[in-house]
């Protein structure tokens, strides 16, 4: 029996291979219902690695039968593990067709969150230009989960393309959805760690033209950035982040905008703690 959690061992892989062989035989004989039952029996698991390995192996099927149609139906199954396995099938089937994969992901971000996040992160590594082109459109989606997912993986380009990431965040700075706000804060912290000058320049602009709600969201990022990252920089005796932070805080405290000056004063308290 395959373990319900944790990484797989050789015996686990043998069990998956044996099940996949049975599935392939059923499909080759057009026994669709039986093949579906075999897939769902193994896919109905909490183990992420079983889902991925099963989906990956199903994608290797080259015989007759309706594997694609079977997995398309399983994408709508009521059990999460089965939907996730089907998504991995489509991922490995379309690994060289990222546009097709993104079309599928645009639907599964609502229903297969964790695996969709993993695949989107992989796409940022393998097809960054495609992601740069498509994710800004996701940021405009009526679906909050899709808007949140539009930011996922942008930490991969925060070092080399901070302004692109910050302009993307600007589209979502006033989003009221909690999941979008949480992801916004995480990505803004990543940009600030790598490129503090870019981050503070944009945050200043957002504050100056923003509302109290916007200021509260930005505070959630800034308090983490300043209190955690600045402390680490001091311990490492690196002055770059510290110097940029001190200058930004000093400038903000003197700014005529109440939101900016208030933020500067709050950050000054953190710097002195």
pLDDT score, position 240: 76
Query: What digits encode the pLDDT tens for the residues 25-45?
Result: 999 999 999 999 999 999 999
Tell me how crowded residue 22 is: count the other CB atoms within 10 A of its CB. 14
pLDDT above 90: residue 272: no
> Among 70-79, 102-111, 189-198, 240-249, where is mean pLDDT lowest?
240-249
Tokens of 131: 């992601």
> Among 49-63, 110-124, 229-243, 247-261, where is mean pLDDT lowest?
229-243
Contact 56, 15 (CB under 8 A): no
Ordered by start, the domain boundaries in the chain are: 1-93, 151-273
Element (H, E) at 187: helix 178-194
Of the chain, the percentage scoring pLDDT greater than 70 comes to 95
Query: What digits encode the pLDDT tens for the residues 15-30?
Result: 999 999 999 999 999 9
pLDDT above 70: residue 179: yes
DSSP structural state of residue 195: -
237 — pLDDT class (breaks 50, 70, 90): very low
Query: What digits encode the pLDDT tens for the residues 52-106?
Result: 999 999 999 988 779 999 999 999 999 999 999 999 999 999 999 999 999 999 9
Contact 81, 42 (CB under 8 A): no
What mean pLDDT value characterizes the chain?
92
Mean pLDDT of 210-230: 87
> Among 3-12, 26-35, 257-266, where is mean pLDDT lowest?
3-12
Which residue has tokens 């110097």? 243
Tokens of 218: 């930005």
Contact 68, 60 (CB under 8 A): no
Mean pLDDT of 162-172: 97
Longest dimension (CA), the chain: 77
Mean pLDDT of 132-152: 97
pLDDT above 80: residue 127: yes
| CA angle (157, 158, 160) in 5-degree steps | 65
Tokens of 102: 């993104």
pLDDT above 90: residue 254: yes
pLDDT above 70: residue 149: yes
242 — pLDDT class (breaks 50, 70, 90): confident
Mean pLDDT of 218-238: 73
DSSP structural state of residue 55: H
> Among 49-63, 103-117, 191-205, 226-240, where is mean pLDDT lowest?
226-240
CA distances from 207 to 151, 173, 216, 245 (A): 21, 10, 10, 16
pLDDT above 90: residue 189: yes
Rounded CA separation 80/43 (Å): 9
């Amino acid at each position: 029996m395959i373990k319900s959690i944790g990484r797989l061992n050789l015996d686990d892989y043998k069990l998956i291979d044996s099940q996949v062989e049975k599935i392939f035989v059923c499909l080759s004989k057009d026994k669709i219902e039986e093949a579906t039952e075999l897939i769902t029996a193994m896919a109905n698991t909490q183990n992420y690695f079983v889902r991925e390995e099963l989906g990956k192996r199903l994608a290797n099927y080259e015989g007759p039968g309706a594997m694609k149609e079977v997995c398309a139906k399983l994408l709508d199954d009521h059990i999460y593990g089965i939907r996730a396995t089907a998504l991995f099938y489509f991922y490995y089937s379309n690994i060289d067709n990222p546009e097709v994969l993104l079309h599928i992901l645009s639907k599964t971000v609502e229903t297969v969150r964790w695996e969709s996040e993993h695949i989107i992160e992989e796409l940022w590594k393998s097809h960054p230009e495609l992601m740069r082109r498509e994710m800004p459109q996701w940021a405009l989606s009526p679906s909050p989960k899709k808007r949140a997912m539009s930011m996922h993986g942008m930490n991969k380009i925060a070092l080399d393309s901070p302004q692109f990431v910050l302009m993307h965040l600007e589209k979502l700075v006033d989003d009221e959805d909690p999941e979008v706000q949480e992801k916004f804060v995480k990505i803004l912290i990543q940009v600030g760690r790598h490129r503090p000058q870019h981050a503070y320049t944009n945050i200043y602009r957002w504050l100056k033209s923003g509302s109290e709600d916007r200021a509260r969201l930005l505070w959630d990022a800034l308090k983490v950035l300043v209190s955690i990252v600045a402390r680490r920089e001091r311990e490492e005796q690196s002055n770059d982040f510290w110097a940029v932070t001190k200058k930004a805080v000093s400038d903000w405290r003197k700014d005529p905008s109440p939101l900016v000056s208030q933020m500067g004063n709050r950050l000054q308290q953190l710097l002195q703690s």
